[in-house]
Amino acid sequence: MTAHEYGELLKCAIPLLEGLLPEPHNTRLLKLLFTMAYWHGFGGLHMHTDATTEILDNLTTLLGQRLRHFKDTTCAVYATRELKREAEQRHRREDKAKLTQLSSSKTTAAPGDNRRLKTLNLDTFKLHALGDYVASIPRKAKKLDPMFAPKTQYHIGENESSPVDVPLFLSRNHGDPAVKDFLPKLHAHLLPRIVNLLKQERILHPDIVHPVQWVSDTAADVEGRVSIHHDRIYHHKQVWFNYTMYDVHRGRDIINCGTPHRNIMLLSSTTTDSDSDSKSRFLYARVLGAYHANVLYMGPGMLDYKPRRIDFLWVRWYEVQRGGTTSWRDSELPMVSFPALASDSAFGFIDPSDVLRACHVIPAFARGTAHEDGVGVSLRARDGDDYNTYYVGCFSDRDSLMRYHWGMGVGHIHAHGLAEVESLTPVGALVAEVEVEADVDTAITGISGSETNSESTNELAGSKTCQVQAGSGPSCEDPTLNTEVDNDDDLEAEDEEDDDKSGEEMPEIDDELDDSQYPGL
């Protein structure tokens, strides 16, 4: 396996390994995985500011604390040994070394019951060098190239080769919870959008006497004011979303309505209230279909009988169960779930231009499925495979990670001026947790903490106690003040003797995973 494949496993490890160990080891493992994924996401950013480097510095401290705490408590309880395959490989290497040049006998592997104990080894240079990672990042920023970003926020096909007759569609899906109030909701969504289109056209036609009036989206106002041409909407399989990434590059997400990769995220409000709860900053939805319709406005101030094309998405909404800054402080992934199918807010329509980008939603496997028999209620919602809850994969890529650090992404213009640099879990809180559990863990394991290498002067930046403070970084509105990551510079080893430390005492580590031991991966 390559390095990036291990990174992909780390992104999905929390839902897969949740519930594997009993408490309190399960909580320790999940928090350690969260911290490692958090560090991995920030360590790979292509553009850093002073604020992000402070977060990474604090994360390095927290990672070192949790690694040592995990080794002294959880690892001490479990006697972990080599895999049978690893033991056989080791015996073959040992036998091969003993063979003389005249030997011609075939080498046989030793029995698998002689497997050596394997413990978590923190005395490696890779972990030792993490403390120097932050110091190697800052450098003077180069002048940014001018960005010629396309004006198109999304792209949906222009053809009309897949028409959907709305009355026939409603008749065939009668009784399906997903199509309840389908047409009234669609009319209510289309009315303000067609009015806005006509108002923009009216600027080009000042000779029009009757202005287009703004109407509410109540049933009385919608009725008779908007009409779908030929009662047809046109289905499209794919939608392309264009967005500006945190490092001012242009990104694109593609969703296919016929695959599981059809989850999107939106801003919950267009207001820029810095005091608002960050839990409600984002909305999440699963796209059931992408359509366009030729719409006619029949209300006061109508310009003509010419239909206007309007694109829209039919979505199934998620409810946010956990998210925002509390999840970062508690080292937990944001969590969402589907509301009841009978709820009025379970389904709806949105403008594709309101979509920020696609998002990574992972089932919480340990919390079970919504339907034990795998048979759902709604054919259109395809809810037979639903899980009770889902995790939002905020570590899926660098841009997704920076979306949840409000105002710190240089390219995230919607959040400029509202940077909130939240301090991570204080190191003192973890130290207190270690002290509380120290007596119990020592009694269970009978192992002291003497294995910790106290001579290491740079062990995962354990001596660093810096805290991130809001407003410490440069303004996001001036890209020339930002610093960038120099991923090409290699970390220099200060002491290469750490590579050979306790080399004879510790068994050789085989990084290859055994699929039989991890069936969920």
pLDDT tens per residue, range 212-235: 555 444 444 556 688 999 999 999
- Which of these, 335, 396, 321, lies nearest to 360 by C-alpha position? 396
Find tokens 């073959």 and name the residue.
Answer: 92
Do the Cβ atoms of 310 and 292 come closer than 8 Å?
yes
Task: Quick: pLDDT tens for 344-355.
Answer: 999 999 999 999
- For residues 354 and 488, membership in a common domain is answered with no
Report residue 232: phi and psi, to 5°.
Answer: -130, 140
Is 127 contained in some domain? yes
Give the three-class secondary structure for 356. Answer: strand
Tokens coding 463: 């001596």
294 bridge partner residues: 309
- For residues 411 and 477, membership in a common domain is answered with no
- For residues 121 and 160, membership in a common domain is answered with no
The percent helix, strand, coil of the chain (3-state, each to 5) is 35, 15, 50
Q: Distance between CA atoms of 331 and 290, rounded to whole angstroms? A: 35
Q: Distance between CA atoms of 44 and 485, rounded to whole angstroms? A: 8
Is 105 contained in some domain? no
Q: Which of 367, 385, 415 lies at the terminal end of a domain, its last residue?
A: 415
- For residues 405 and 329, membership in a common domain is answered with yes
Task: Determine how β-strand 361-363 pairs with β-strand 390-392.
Answer: antiparallel
Q: Distance between CA atoms of 387 and 376, rounded to whole angstroms? A: 11
Task: Quick: pLDDT tens for 61-94.
Answer: 999 999 999 999 998 898 888 888 888 888 888 8
Task: Determine how β-strand 226-236 pairs with β-strand 282-297.
Answer: antiparallel
- For residues 276 and 319, membership in a common domain is answered with yes
Q: Distance between CA atoms of 483 and 53, rounded to whole angstroms? A: 10
Domain count, the chain: 2
Is 60 contained in some domain? yes
pTM of the model: 0.64
Is 297 contained in some domain? yes
Helix (H) or strand (E) holding 285: strand 282-297
The residue length of the chain stands at: 521
- For residues 126 and 207, membership in a common domain is answered with no
- For residues 69 and 207, membership in a common domain is answered with no
Is 391 contained in some domain? yes
Report residue 322: phi and psi, to 5°.
Answer: -155, 135
Is 284 contained in some domain? yes
- For residues 323 and 434, membership in a common domain is answered with no
- Which of these, 374, 379, 369, lies nearest to 338 by C-alpha position? 369
- For residues 398 and 490, membership in a common domain is answered with no
- For residues 266 and 382, membership in a common domain is answered with yes
- For residues 475 and 368, membership in a common domain is answered with no
Q: What is the domain extent for residue 28?
A: 3-80+117-138+425-500
Q: Distance between CA atoms of 480 and 142, rounded to whole angstroms? A: 8
Tokens coding 43: 């360590």
Q: For Cα atoms 168, 170, 174, give the angle at the middle one, nearest 5 degrees.
A: 120
CB burial of residue 509 (10 Å; 0-12, 13-18, 19+): exposed
Q: Which of 348, 380, 415 lies at the terminal end of a domain, its last residue?
A: 415
319 bridge partner residues: 337
Q: Which residues of 443-480 are buried (b: 16+ CB within 10 A; e: fewer)?
A: eeeeeeeebeeeebeebbbbeeeeebeeeebbebeebe
Q: Which of 366, 382, 415 lies at the terminal end of a domain, its last residue?
A: 415
Longest dimension (CA), the chain: 106
Do the Cβ atoms of 114 and 87 come closer than 8 Å?
yes
Is 506 contained in some domain? no
Is 514 contained in some domain? no
Instruction: Give the pLDDT score at 3.
Output: 74
Cα end-to-end span (Å), the chain = 13
- For residues 330 and 455, membership in a common domain is answered with no
Do the Cβ atoms of 130 and 63 come closer than 8 Å?
yes
Which ranges of the chain have pLDDT less than 50?
102, 104-105, 107, 109-110, 112, 145-149, 209, 215-220, 270-278, 421-432, 439-440, 442-521
